[in-house]
Amino acid sequence: MPQTVVITGASAGIGRAAARAFAARGANVALLARGRAGLEAAAREVEAAGGRALPIPTDVADPAQVEAAAEAAEAEFGRLDVWVNTAFSSVFARFTDITPAEYVRTTEVTYLGFVNGTRAALSRMLPQDHGVIVQVGSALGDRSIPLQSAYCGAKHAINGFTSSVRTELMHEGSEVQLTVVQMPAVNTPQFSWVLSRLPRKPQPVAPIYQPEVAARAVVRAADHPRRKQYYVGASTAVTVLADKIAPGLLDRYLARTGFRSQQTDEPDSPDRPHNLWQPLDDTDGHDHGAHGSFDDRSHRHAPELVLSFHPRWTAAVGSAALAGAAALLTRRRRARR
């Protein structure tokens, strides 16, 4: 019997790539996102890959819309096996340059969208004592960086929320599984459609991976969900570990490098369209696809893909990373003298 998967944020980026990956296994895939052009294109890709698609225009910040989408998916395909929360929004700016309304909107989509999706999934999975919920997290949910306070705050909240719900499920002896996949920088369209108040165009911080790498991790986590969280990319695991060992060192490093590393050399326009309040693929009918504009700098494979890393290996690499960061800071201090 085909697996039934619901994916939020399915019109682009990781969600779009994950939809194709599940479809290649013959899954039924319910696609949730706001933009109709992206949803329709994603549905065509799912069908072409061998799955069945159900595109459902949905704003995950609205719990009623998420509940209606879950009901439609269940009516079309039957029992829900996997729910993947991916949808998010963001603002690239200093905290003091983000309005209260923009902060609320980012939090409603990026954090409460996961809460709404988890609630809709559990209301169907718990009575059947079956199902997996995969939260697509981020290394920034453990280690915050400058210029992304709204996004980092939401991703931290997802970790706390998920851990709490997981322990409740364990207390109840439920067979429903809940796991988080912590992602590195991924080449998605977000950098071309995010609301930004930076002087230059935003960019991901290397190393950058293609969405297909992230999608393979999501599928693998759905197949093996009993581990509470997985890390994609050695840099993600090392960053998290290094922050736990020496948070002050990373704070100083990011204060020096975090502004420049998140911007290209190309000036950005303050009037550039963004998708915080409405999807760009609704206003112009253009499908933005899974990939962003950094194909030439993104890894298509991840030999160091870390989904179940060994603690000793991580500690060794983390120590090396800390030593390297300390040496870099020392050289910069000497250069300024």
Residue 51 φ then ψ, to 5°: -105, 180
Q: Which amino acid is at 233?
A: G
Q: DSSP string covering 85-121, please?
A: E-----EES-GGGS-HHHHHHHHHHHTHHHHHHHHHH
Could you tell me the sign of the dihedral formed by the alpha carbons of 36, 5, 16, 21, in that order? Answer: negative
Question: Exactly one of 111, 151, 209, 230 is catalytic; which is it?
Answer: 151
* Cα–Cα distance measured from residue 301 to residue 213, given in angstroms and rounded to the nearest whole number: 6
Provide the β-strand partners of residue 55.
31
SS3 track for 280-314? HHHHCCCCCCCCCCCHHHEECCCCCCCCCCCHHHH
* Cα–Cα distance measured from residue 211 to residue 291, given in angstroms and rounded to the nearest whole number: 7
* Cα–Cα distance measured from residue 257 to residue 128, given in angstroms and rounded to the nearest whole number: 49
Of residues 104, 80, 76, 78, the one with CA closest to residue 91 = 104
User: What are the CA-CA distances from residue 331 to residues 326, 334, 335 (Å)?
Assistant: 9, 5, 6
- Neighbour tally for 49: CB within 10 Å: 18
For helices 311-336 and 234-245, what crossing angle results, to 10°? 70
Q: Is 151 an annotated catalytic residue?
A: yes
Contact between 147 and 91 (Cβ < 8 Å) = no
Residues annotated as catalytic are 151
